[in-house]
Amino acid sequence: MIRFGKYVWVGLVSLAGFAACTNSKMPAPEPEPFTVTAPANLGTSVPAPERNPFTREGVLLGRKLFYDPILSGNNKISCATCHLPEKAFSDGLALSTNGASGQALHRSAPPLQNLAWHKGWFWDGGAKDIESLNFGPIKHADEMAQNLTELVKELQNHSEYPRLFKAAFRTDTISTALLTRALAQFERTLISANSRYDKYVRNEGGKLSSQELEGLSLFRQKCASCHATDFFTDHDYHNNGLDNTYSEAHEALAWGRGRISEKPEDIGKYKTPTLRNIALTAPYMHDGRFKTLEEVLDHYRSGVKVSATLDARLQQNGKTGIEMTEEEKTRIIQFLQTLTDPEFTSNPDFSAPR
Amino acid sequence: MKNKLRLSYLILLSGLGLLSCKKDKVKPAEAKQGSMEVHFDSRRSLTEDFVVNKNYLNANNDSVSFSTFKYFISNVELVRPDGTTFAEPNSYHLIAAANTPASETFTIANIPDGNYSKIRFRVGVDQARNSSTATPVGDLDKDHDMTWDWNTGYTFVFAIGKFKSAPASATFLDFTYQIGKDAQYRTVELAFPSETPTAQIDEMHKPKMHLHANIFDIFGGPNVIDVKANSNSNLPQFSTVAPKIADNYAQMFRIDHIHAH
Ligand SMILES: [Cu+2]
């Protein structure tokens, strides 16, 4: 009996020994190094954190995860439920009720484009990196309502994911860290820079009409100090005069950047959104309050509300707001429409894998 | 004989199996090592244990109970009498105050042989780990509710409970303290108690340290906190209160005794 005990034990050890060897003798092939580049007017190179470099396998895995409802608690909601490629990865809604609970969210889903260059993520920059951000929608009860431990188990028992994670990260063990790294790699590849405007500024044969050019020059005078550079954002936080009272409801959500920095001088400030693909991403502002670009420009012209943190550029020469004639307004809108990038919204690398 | 032969054959096989793996396996260092169990016993006071959901009077004379009290203890170091230290690697421990000790206890492993006279640890998570929740190690890697979904970083101390302000108001109200951010990271250093000023730790000696965490001290160590005026830590105005609470929790720990096993 005793001998039999030993026998089995020795047998087990040898098996374990061999199992370990089979693993180490057949290492997964190195994931393909993968350079993601941007067009010249965005500065060519694409920022990515050192600990999460791009690999082809990582980006492909990230795309699959982005479109897979397995990420949600009820297996019905994917990232793409609220971030649709044809709307530059926004959702066309002011405050979505498409999350797990059906409760309206408190903010509008922004487009996902040129995210790699942001300095903070979400409307108020509360997320310090994309990798950390991704856990937000996955766990949030009103978005995907998923338990991370459950999710890792589901992925580990899946018919495809273990192989795909191994290809991307050379490990058999799926973890939340790897999940979010793959998603972030994909999100950083979502680069929009092939609108008609881009092809015009890069001399790639894009043509702007004289009216659009007039709009461009008006835009540069009146808007480009915040919606700056060819990113159309300064990646900074400003109060553009939407409100003059800031409720403390929902843990002072309306404080915007002020809730994150805990500084009174940041109350009511939000990240300057890019204006790329703006014709596709209505409704506008952090709560989707404006349905059209007309309404947005009417706001800047005559709707700006004064409060302590209102940006100085919106109260110059004793006047509140940005002066413009009806015609100038039309020209600016005509220009904004040249920022639509159909190559971005229909890029097969960004759409659901099949 | 037959049996013996088969056995040695198997031993050989298993030996081969292990041999061929040798090059990929990192051999543990030869240095002698011990371990120590650390128990963060949640207390009402020196003489009274803490019970979840039970009402107690706090330093501001408010009646207060906790349904949740959790915190991160991190970057634990053991200090030798000559001032040199052993720092536990990937040292992040989630402590949850409970009526049972399991969630209040962790074991520091692989402590080099020696004599130790102080423990140093942090309440909260260091800035490097706190600026991204995406590379979790230790207890940071759990589906705990110790992060915000809208603000990157870990909750250092998470307390939920009810309070009733003295004297008259009849109803209990809720409070939520979810305290984090780099400014609230605190270092605690405790010398071993006078009965056991040093402890030997090695393969034969695996002491158990019994700490008291007087969790009501968050309302009144150096700073008395009026919970009625400050019941929700997620309001921005709380940013002036949070450092005061952090100074309180920095002082809520004592070593009660050490079992020198
Ligand atoms: Cu004890």
Q: Any idea what the CATH number is for the domain that residue A90 is in? A: 1.10.760.10
- Read off the pLDDT band of A31 (50, 70, 90): confident
Judged by CB atoms closer than 8 Å, whether chains meet at B235 and A251 is answered as: yes
Categorize the per-residue pLDDT at B30 as very low, low, confident or very high, splitting at 50, 70 and 90.
low
- Quick one: pLDDT at residue A320? 97
Residue A145 lies in a domain: yes
pLDDT of residue A13: 32
Q: Using one digit for the tens of pLDDT, what is the confidence trace for B234-251? A: 887 899 999 999 999 999
pLDDT per position as a tens digit, A277-317? 999 999 999 999 999 999 999 999 999 999 999 999 999 98
Q: A184 and A64, same structural domain?
A: yes
Q: Is the pLDDT of residue B205 over 50?
A: yes
Q: At residue A98, what are phi and psi to the nearest 5 degrees? A: -90, 5
Judge whether A138 lies within some domain. Answer: yes
Answer yes or no: do A298 and A224 share one domain: yes
Which pLDDT does position A23 carry in this prediction?
41
> What is the rounded average pLDDT of the residues B167-181?
86
What is the CA(B222)–ligand 1 centre distance, in A?
27
Q: State the Cα–Cα distance between residues B157 and B72, nearest whole angstrom.
A: 7
* pLDDT band at A12; cut points 50, 70, 90: very low
Confidence tier at B202 by pLDDT (50, 70, 90): very high
Backbone angles phi and psi of A350, in degrees to 5: -105, -10
- H/E segment holding residue B94: strand B92-96
- Rounded to whole angstroms, the Cα distance separating A254 from A269 reads 9
Q: What number is the average pLDDT over the span B69-73?
A: 97
Of residues A6 and A161, which shows the higher confidence score?
Answer: A161
Q: Residues A301, A314: one domain? A: yes
Q: Residues within 5 Å of ion ligand 1 by Cβ?
A: B 210
Query: Chain B residue closest to A12 (CA)?
Result: B14
* Pair A298, A286 in one domain: yes
Look over chain A and give the mean of its residue pLDDT values, rounded to a whole number. Answer: 92
pLDDT at B32: 82
- Residue A35 sits at the chain B interface (C-beta within 8 Å): no
Chain B touched by A141 (CB under 8 Å)? no
DSSP SS3 for B30 = coil
Summarised one tens digit per residue, pLDDT across range B101-151 is 889 999 999 999 999 999 999 999 999 999 999 888 999 987 788 999 899
Which of A21, A22, A146 would best serve as a mutation to test chain B binding (most B beta carbons within 10 A)?
A: A21
**What are the pLDDT digits (tens) for A202-237?**
999 999 999 999 999 999 999 999 999 999 999 999
- Whether the per-residue pLDDT at B24 is higher than 50: the answer is no
Span B39-69, pLDDT tens digits: 999 999 878 899 999 999 999 999 999 999 9
What pLDDT does A95 receive?
A: 97
Does the pTM of the predicted model rise above 0.90? no
Query: What is the domain range of residue A168?
Result: 7-192+346-350
Helix axes A148-156, A176-189, angle to 10 degrees: 90
How many structural domains are present in chain A? 2
B3 in reach of chain A (CB within 8 A): yes
Nearest CB to B21 within list A20, A122, A177? A20
Check residue A73 and give its pLDDT: 97
Residue A26 pLDDT = 55
Residue A106 falls inside a structural domain: yes
**A159 shares its domain with A210:** no
Q: How far is A156 from chain B (nearest CA, A)?
A: 16
**In this structure, is residue A2 part of a structural domain?**
no
User: Would you say residue A58 has pLDDT above 50?
Assistant: yes
Instruction: Give the whole-angstrom CA distance, residue B81 versus residue A169.
Output: 44
Q: Under an 8 A CB cutoff, do A10 and B234 touch?
A: no
Q: Cis bond leading into A111, ω under 30°?
A: no
Calculated CA dihedral for residues B13, B16, B22, B28, nearest 10 degrees: 40
A251 touches chain B (CB under 8 A): yes
pLDDT score, position B98? 83
Average pLDDT, integer, range B214-241: 92
ipTM beyond 0.85? no
CB contact A258 to B (< 8 Å) = yes
CB-based contact, A9 to chain B, within 8 Å: no
Mean pLDDT on A186-191? 98
- Asked whether the beta carbons of residue A129 and residue B152 sit closer than 8 angstroms, the reply is yes
Chain B residue closest to A23 (CA)?
B21
Mutate to test the interface with B, among A8, A176, A251 (most CBs of B within 10 A): A251
Query: What mean pLDDT do residues A35-47 have?
Result: 94
The nearest CA of chain B is from the CA of A126 a distance in Å of 4
* Residues of chain B neighbouring A131 (CB-CB closer than 8 A): 132-135
Q: How far is A9 from chain B (nearest CA, A)?
A: 10
- Residue predicted with more confidence, B10 or A118: A118
Query: How big is chain B by its Cα radius of gyration, in Å?
Result: 23
The answer to whether residue A1 sits within a structural domain is: no
Mean pLDDT of A319-326: 96
Structure tokens at B24: 């990929």
Label residue A19 by pLDDT band (50, 70, 90).
very low
Query: Shortest CB distance from A251 goes to which of B10, B11, B232?
Result: B232
Q: Which chain A residues are closer than 8 Å to B132 by Cβ?
A: 128-129, 131-132
* CA B257 to centroid of ligand 1, rounded, Å: 6
Q: Are residues A34 and A71 in the same domain?
A: yes
Q: Do residues A155 and A213 both lie within one domain?
A: no
Interchain contact A16–B (C-beta under 8 A) = yes
Q: Are the Cβ atoms of B134 and A255 closer than 8 angstroms?
A: no
A222 & A334 share domain: yes
Spatial CA neighbour of B164 closest among B245, B242, B240, B231: B231
Rounded distance between C-alpha atoms, residue A34 and residue A21, angstroms: 30
> What confidence score (pLDDT) does residue B99 get?
76
- Note whether A6 contacts B: Cβ–Cβ < 8 A: yes
With contact defined as beta carbons under 8 Å apart, do A46 and A187 qualify? no
- Domain identity same for A173 and A211: no
Predicted local confidence at residue A21, as pLDDT: 36
| Contact yes or no for A14 and B13 at CB 8 A | yes
pLDDT band at B169 (very low <50, low <70, confident <90, very high): low
Span A94-120, mean pLDDT?
97
A170 & A44 share domain: yes
Which residues in chain B are closer than 8 Å to A134, comparing Cβ atoms? 134
Residues A33 and A176 grouped into a single domain: yes
> Comparing A31-45, A116-130, A333-347, which segment has the lowest mean pLDDT?
A31-45
Nearest to A111 by CA among A31, A166, A192: A192
DSSP of A166-188: HHHHS-S---HHHHHHHHHHHHH
Do A213 and A95 fall within a single domain?
no
